[in-house]
Structure 1
């Protein structure tokens, strides 16, 4: 049954090393070979080299059923490795052993690390080290599948293995110290990139006026610090799983001294990355302290301004009270003088004071006007000084949603 060929095929960069000829490089289109039913292996040359490093794109291979099946069949890769949840994981280590018909054991190991690389310009990128290693116990051949490896890390692998020690190849875990040295190098750079940005924030001096912190930038640095801490914690757990598995397999491996040296190297990288995790946690706490300090500084400045406003308001209140007291003092005499200055009173006659018969007109207009003014004031006071919950209920009745102030996560 012929399988449908996808639009894109997987291009593999293959680097091979053997005693004598050294390193060689070639590029193959695996799908092109498989789709033509070629008898050529397409991946490893014949005779088989001692080391074969294959750089491939797992994202493209996942879309090609033919290529994916070839990797599963040839390298005994577990199908779970190609699953979605394995792809979305942030780190793991796995190991399985098999035995050939002549009794020789082979080991398949796979591991995954994530590293967040942060530039001084706040631009960041994710490095993903997704490695599958197949070690043949009979020929001691090692095939390393490096999926979606960044170019600079791929170059570092070639530099680290420019002259491998043939004795190291007798261990199925010989490649992992080289891998962990790259993990440690890039994680160290990630931790110090966060530390440098935190230090720049710590060195900033307070302005003379109201502080105006860049909260978005502060929270971005804190977010990067959290991600770096997460990747370091997962890396430590992954290396511990690697050490546990290597300790279990140690008695069944041939070269005790070589295995002891590899185990010591793995322990060193576990200790080193654990210390990086502690430094990353310190960066995280320092950044949170700076964010809290920024909030408190602004709050302190605003509180000081509020105190000044309160003192000014208090002074204005005393002045208004004085004015009100003077007004109340002179208001009764003013009212009395206004009453007696009306034309309803006449004291020019010889008989003395004369009160007009129409004086009732004054009360007819004065009393209703006063009552209307007091009622209007009471109605307006009650309408515009309603409690906050009542006002919110009115807004909700009009389908107006009141959203709280947003804060950065």
Structure 2
């Protein structure tokens, strides 16, 4: 079995048992060439459409059977599935020591991995891998070297290592979202400038949770198809092999579910940090309002006294003496009751504001209806007759 990159040689020249890696830049566009490429793997033409190319995940399969033999068995089997992974740029004190995948101008990189497999009972087993991370082929070879020899009587023999490596990338993706969240928890920034990176990290966390859910659904469907096809194999690999293969696939599904839980935890932790930042800003605003209130209280007595002395109740005579009007009592007789009335109205408003607003809205609506009826043109007496 070989791992090779599809560049410019013919599909007919490919080894019978191989993984083929194709960069997304070299992936044929939707103009007929992509359909011809996927036709080699017996994949339906609709899978080559833009609709399927932009989905976050799917799994499909197609089997051919020997109708003339008894019992009926599978002669060829094709699968196609899609799994996305989002790699966020590494932090300086990141959890993993892997390579940097987000090498562009953005702080993240999407890998929209698509896989197409073709298996035939006569010994053909080819897997086309599109838009995988650059180190996927090398990491896949290392995994295959550690495993037992593949049993190619199983149409899913070459899937297990692929899924293993995909789980590794999902784990890296989740941790690289967790690292900036942990950085926020440590620094506890309280300024408004922290909200922009918070919301950016939140977007990455939401995407990661979405693709993990989609990948789990994809593997569940793969597991269902595996159980069905194992009942129709022409050369049975044995109950031990089939049972272990299904158990290991179920183990891979549980790994993705655990990563999904960790991703959900990242979202909750980030939500807590956002709430904490809002609370800190509210507390800062409260401190500012208290400072303004204190300054107001400091200058209020002086303002009040100067306002009183600036009235006409106080005046200077021609000889420079200070004169006070004998009508000063009028000021106090009007100011004190007015202040008391305002305080009482304010207390009534606080206690019954909802009822007052509801009462006003009800009567206002009734008044508008009455006015519309009153202003509506009345029918002519001749028309009534």
Please give the TM-score of this superposition, normalised by the length of structure 2: 0.70
Report deviation, 1:213. Answer: 4.2
Once the two structures are TM-superposed, the CA of residue 324 in structure 1 deviates from its matched residue by: 2.2
CA distance in 1, matches of 2:291, 2:313: 37
Instruction: Tell me: CA distance 1:114–1:279, structure 2 relative to 1, closer, same or farther (3 Å).
Output: same
Q: Find the aligned partners of 2:188 and 2:270 in 1 and give their Cα distance.
A: 16
Distance in structure 2 (CA, Å) of the matches to 1:27 and 1:132: 13
Relative distance call for 1:199 and 1:176 in structure 2 (3 A) is same
Task: State yes or no: 1:299 paired with 2:282.
Answer: yes
Matched, 1:98 2:64: yes
Written as runs of structure 1 = structure 2, the 5 A alignment for 1:176-325 is 176-205=159-188, 211-253=191-233, 254-255=236-237, 256-325=239-308
SS in 2 for 1:312: helix
Matching residue of 1:334: 315
Paired residues for 1:79-118 under 5 Å: 79-99=45-65, 103=69, 104-118=74-88
What residue in structure 2 maps to residue 125 of structure 1?
Answer: 109
Partner residue in 2 for 1:74: 40
Change (3 A) 1:289 1:61: closer
* C-alpha displacement of 1:123: 2.4
Deviates more, 1:300-309 or 1:275-284: 300-309
Using the TM superposition, give the Cα deviation of residue 81 of structure 1 relative to its aligned residue in structure 2, in angstroms. Answer: 1.2
- Which has the larger Rg? 1
Q: Measure, in 1, the Cα distance between the counterparts of 2:188 and 2:27.
A: 53
Give the total of aligned pairs. Answer: 300
Question: Residues 27-74 of structure 1, C-alpha deviation per residue, up to 9 Å, x if partnerless?
Answer: 6624xx6xxxxxxx63335xxx3x122223466453486754543443
For the structure 1 residues 273 and 221, does the alpha-carbon distance in structure 2 shift closer, same or farther, using more than 3 Å as the test?
A: same
Cα contact 2:24–2:131 (8 A) shared by 1 = yes
- 293 and 268 in structure 1: CA distance in 2 versus 1, 3 angstrom threshold: same
State which of 120, 123, 126 in structure 2 corresponds to 1:136. Answer: 120
Q: Quick one: structure 1 residues 326 and 110, their matched pair in 2 at CA, closer, same or farther if it must change by over 3 Å?
A: same
User: Which has the bigger relative contact order, CA under 8 A and spacing at least 6?
Assistant: 2
8 A contact 2:150–2:158 mirrored in 1: no
CA contact (8 A) 2:22 2:130 kept: yes
Once residues 314 and 31 of structure 2 are traced to their aligned partners in structure 1, the CA distance between those partners, rounded to angstroms, is 105
Question: What is the CA–CA distance in structure 1 between the aligned matches of 2:54 and 2:255, rounded to whole Å?
Answer: 26
Q: Secondary structure at the match of 1:89?
A: coil
Aligned-partner SS, 1:276:
helix
In 2: Cα distance, 1:72 partner to 1:202 partner: 47
Tell me the secondary structure at the aligned position of residue 29 of structure 1.
coil
**Aligned 8 A contact 2:177 2:266 in 1:** yes
Corresponding residue SS for 1:75: coil
C-alpha deviation, 1:166, in angstroms: 4.8
Name the CA distance, whole Å, in 1 between partners of 2:32 and 2:156.
Answer: 29
Report how far residue 164 of structure 1 moved.
Answer: 6.4
- Cα root mean square deviation, aligned: 2.9
Distance 1:73 1:270, change over 3 A: closer
User: How far is the alpha carbon of 1:205 from its aligned partner?
Assistant: 4.7
